Structure 1
Amino acid sequence: MTLPPRRRLLRRGISASVSLALAVAGTATAVVLSTAPAAQAAAVPAPSPLDVPGRGASVPFKEQEAEYAATNGTLIGPNRLYGSLPSEASGRQAVTLDAVGEYVEFTLTAPANAMTFRYSLPDNSAGTGRDAAVDLRVNGNTLKSVPVTSKYGWYYGGYPFNNNPGDTNPHHFYDETRTMFGSTLPTGTKIRLQVSSTAASPTFTIDLADFEQVAAPIGKPAGALDVVTDFGADPTGATDSTAKIQAAVDAGRTQGKQVYLPEGTFQVRDHIVVDQVTLAGAGPWYSVLTGRDPSNRAKAVGVYGKYANQGGSRNVTLKNFAIIGDIREREDNDQVNAIGGAMSDSTVDNVWMQHTKCGAWMDGPMNNFTIKNSRILDQTADGVNFHMGVTNSTVTNTFVRNSGDDGLAMWAENVPNVNNKFTFNTVILPILANNIVTYGGKDITISDNVMSDTITNGGGLHVANRYPGVNSGQGTAVSGTTTAARNTLIRTGNNDYNWQFGVGAVWFSGLNEPVNGTINVTDSEILDSSYAAIHLIEGSTNALNFNNIRIDGAGTYALQIQSPGKATFTNVKATHIAQPNPIHNCVGSGFQITQGTGNSGWYANPPACTGQWPAPVWTNGGVPQGGTNPPTDPPTTPPTTPPTTPPTTPPTTPPTTPPDTGNQAQGRPIAESGHADVYGAGNAVDGNANTYWESTNNAFPQSVTVDLGAAKAIKRVVLKLPPATAWATRTQTLSVLGSTNNSSFSTLKASAGYTFNPSANGNSVTITLDGTSTRYLRVNITGNTGWPAGQLSELEAYTS
Structure 2
Amino acid sequence: MKWKQLRRRVAVGIPALGLVAVGVLPLSGQALAGIAPEGGGTGGSGSAGTGAAAAAAGAAGAELPYVEYEAEAGTYDGTLVEADAKRTFGHTNFGSESSGRRSVRLENTGQYVEFTSTAPTNSIVVRNSIPDAPGGGGLDATLSLYANGAFVQKLDLSSKHSWLYGTTDDPEGLTNTPQNDARRLFDESHALLEQSYPEGTTFRLQRDADDSAAFYVIDLIDLEQVAPPAEKPAACTSITEYGAVPDDGGDDTEALQSAVTADQNGEIECVWVPPGQWRQEQKILTEDLAGGQYNQVGIRDVDIRGAGMWHSQFSTLTPPHEADGINHPHEGNFGFDIDRNTRISDIAIFGSGTIRGGDGGHEGGVGLNGRFGVGTEISNVWIEHANVGVWVGRDYSNRPELWGPADGLKFSGMRIRNTYADGINFTNGTRNSEVVNSSFRTTGDDSLAVWASKYVKDPATDIGHDNRFRNNTIQLPWRANGVAIYGGYGNTVENNLISDTANYPGIMLATDHDPVPFSGETVISGNSLYRCGGAFWGEAQEFGAITLFPAGQPIPGVTIKDTDIHDSTYDGIQFKSGGGDMPNVNISNVTIEKSNNGAGILAMGGARGSANLTNVTITDSAEGDVVVEPGSQFVINGWPDAENGTPARGREG
Quote the residue 2:411 is aligned against.
371
Shift of 1:197: 3.5
Contact 1:134–1:196, Cα closer than 8 Å, also in 2: yes
| Structural mapping, 1:71-220, within 5 Å | 71-79=76-84, 80-82=87-89, 83=91, 84-157=93-166, 158=168, 159=170, 160-167=172-179, 169-197=181-209, 200-220=212-232
Alignment map for 1:582-661 (pairs within 5 Å): 582-588=626-632, 590-595=633-638, 603-604=642-643, 607=646, 609-612=648-651
Which range moved further: 152-161 or 346-355? 152-161
Q: Residue 303 of structure 1 corresponds to which residue in structure 2?
A: 335
Which residue number corresponds to residue 609 of structure 2?
A: 565
Q: What is the rounded CA distance, in whole Å, between the counterparts of 1:323 and 1:245 in structure 2?
A: 13
- Structure 1 residues 440-485: Cα deviation after superposition (integer angstroms, max 9, x where no partner): 11110110111111101x10111111113x1xxxxx2111110111
**Which residue does 1:263 correspond to in 2?**
275
- The answer to whether the Cα contact below 8 Å between 1:38 and 1:72 also exists between their aligned partners in 2 is no
Residue 65 (structure 2) aligned to one of 60, 71, 81 = 60
CA distance in 2, matches of 1:379, 1:52: 30
Deviations 1:695-723 (A, max 9, x none): xxxxxxxxxxxxxxxxxxxxxxxxxxxxx
Q: 2:391 aligns with which of 361, 368, 374?
A: 361
Partner Cα separation in structure 1 for residue 600 and residue 505 of structure 2: 14
Letter paired with 1:351? V
Matched, 1:252 2:263: yes
1:553: which partner in 2? 594
Per-residue CA deviations over 1:225-282 (Å, capped at 9, x if unaligned) read 1001x10112115111112101101111223511000011111112112311110101
- Answer yes or no: is the 8 Å Cα contact 2:417–2:441 preserved in 1: yes
Distance in 1, Cα, partners of 2:36 & 2:221: 24
* Whole-angstrom distance in 2 between the partners of 1:439 and 1:463: 6
Q: Does 1:350 align with 2:396?
A: no
Between the aligned partners of 1:244 and 1:372, the Cα distance in structure 2 is 27
Deviation (angstroms), 1:316: 0.8
In the alignment, the residues of structure 1 paired with residue 465 and residue 301 of structure 2 have an alpha-carbon distance, to the nearest angstrom, of 24
Partner of 1:7: 18
- Tell me the SS of whatever aligns to 2:234: coil
Per the alignment, residue 234 of structure 1 pairs with 245
CA distance in 1, matches of 2:541, 2:478: 17
- Using a 3 Å threshold, how does the CA distance of structure 1 residues 199 and 610 change in structure 2: closer, same or farther? same
By how many angstroms is 1:396 displaced? 0.4
Shift of 1:398: 0.4
Residues 315 and 166 of structure 1: CA distance in aligned 2, closer, same or farther (over 3 Å): closer
Could you tell me how far 1:500 is from its partner in structure 2?
1.2
Q: Tell me the residue number matched to 1:438.
A: 485
SS class of match (1:7): coil
2:636–2:644 contact (8 Å) kept in structure 1: no
Return the offset for 1:47: 5.5
Of 548, 554, 559, the residue aligned with 1:520 is 559
Q: Which residue of 1 aligns with 2:9?
A: none
- Are 1:39 and 1:67, in contact at CA under 8 Å, matched by a contact in 2? no
Q: Which residue number in structure 2 is paired with residue 421 of structure 1?
A: 468
Gapped regions of structure 2 (runs ≥ 5)? 1-12, 25-29, 286-298, 395-404, 457-462
> What is aligned with 1:316?
342
Within-5 A mapping of 1:366-515: 366-414=406-454, 415=456, 416-456=463-503, 458-468=504-514, 470=515, 476-498=516-538, 500-515=540-555
Question: Which whole-Å CA distance do the structure 2 matches of 1:576 and 1:61 have between them?
Answer: 33
1:576 matches 2:602? no
Tell me the distance in 2 between the aligned counterparts of 1:447 and 1:581. Answer: 25
Which position in structure 2 is the counterpart of 1:69? 74
1:124 CA drift (Å): 2.5
**Higher Cα radius of gyration:** 1
Task: Indicate the percent of aligned positions where both proteins have the same amino acid.
Answer: 30
CA contact (8 A) 1:440 1:466 kept: no
Q: Return the alpha-carbon distance in structure 1 between the equivalents of residues 157 and 362 of structure 2.
A: 29
* Cα distance between partner residues in 1 of 2:175 and 2:230: 40
- Counterpart residue number, 2:570: 531
**AA in 1 matched with 2:133:** N
Which residue is 1:283 aligned to?
308
Would the aligned equivalents of 2:590 and 2:615 in 1 still touch at CA under 8 Å?
yes
Separation in 2, partners of 1:92, 1:586: 33
1:47-74: CA deviations, max 9, x gaps?
6897555111000001110001111111
Cα distance in 1 for residues equivalent to 2:518 and 2:197: 51
How far off its partner does 1:295 sit? Answer: 3.4
Residue identity matched to 2:105: T
Look up the SS of the partner of 1:91 in the other structure: helix
d(CA) in 2 for partners of 1:234, 1:136: 31
Count of matched residue pairs:
577
The answer on whether the counterparts of 1:135 and 1:196 sit within 8 Å (CA) in structure 2 is yes
- The 8 Å contact of residues 113 and 205 in structure 2, kept in 1 or not, is answered as yes
Counterparts of 2:37 and 2:284, CA distance in 1:
53
Q: Distance in 2 between matches of 1:23 and 1:362?
A: 35
* Cα distance, 1:87–1:487 mapped onto 2, change above 3 Å: same
Which secondary structure state, in structure 2, belongs to the residue aligned with residue 247 of structure 1?
Answer: helix
Offset from partner CA, 1:637-669 (integer Å, 9 cap, x none):
xxxxxxxxxxxxxxxxxxxxxxxxxxxxxxxxx
User: Aligned in 2, Cα 1:546/1:226: closer, same or farther, shift over 3 Å?
Assistant: same
Secondary structure at the aligned position of 1:251 is classed as helix
Q: CA deviation at 1:410?
A: 1.2
Which runs of structure 2 are paired with 1:628-707 in the superposition (5 Å)? 687=652
Q: 1:723-738 residue pairs with structure 2 within 5 A? A: none
Task: Report the CA distance between 1:45 and its aligned residue.
Answer: 8.6
2:368 to 322, 339, 355: 339
Distance 1:333 1:391 in 2: 31
With the length of structure 1 as denominator, give the TM-score of the two structures. 0.68
Distance 1:346 1:585, change over 3 A: same
User: Against the structure 1 CA distance between its residues 520 and 128, is the aligned structure 2 distance closer, same or farther, given a 3 Å change threshold?
Assistant: same
* Secondary structure of the structure 2 residue equivalent to 1:459: coil
CA distance in 2, matches of 1:272, 1:284: 18
1:581, 1:608 within 8 Å by CA — same for their partners in 2?
A: no
Call closer, same or farther: CA 1:199–1:425 in 2, change over 3 Å. Answer: closer
Structure 1 unaligned residues grouped into runs of 5+:
307-312, 471-475, 613-686, 689-800
- Decide whether the 8 Å contact of 1:98 with 1:198 is kept in 2: no
Give the structure-2-normalised TM-score. 0.83
Q: Whole-Å Cα distance in 2 between the matches of residues 173 and 50 of structure 1?
A: 28
What letter corresponds to residue 462 of structure 1 in structure 2? M
Query: Residue type of the partner of 1:436?
Result: V
Conserved 8 A contact 1:225-1:252: no
Give the structure 1 partner of residue 43 of structure 2.
Answer: 37
Q: Counterpart of 1:380 in 2: which secondary structure?
A: coil
> How many angstroms apart in 1 are the aligned matches of 2:54 and 2:106?
25
Q: Distance in 2 between matches of 1:244 and 1:177?
A: 28
TM-align CA RMSD: 2.8
Q: Write the deviation string for residues 547-591 of structure 1: whole angstroms up to 9, x where unpaired.
A: 111111112111221211121111111011112464141234x11
Distance 2:246 2:528 in 1: 42
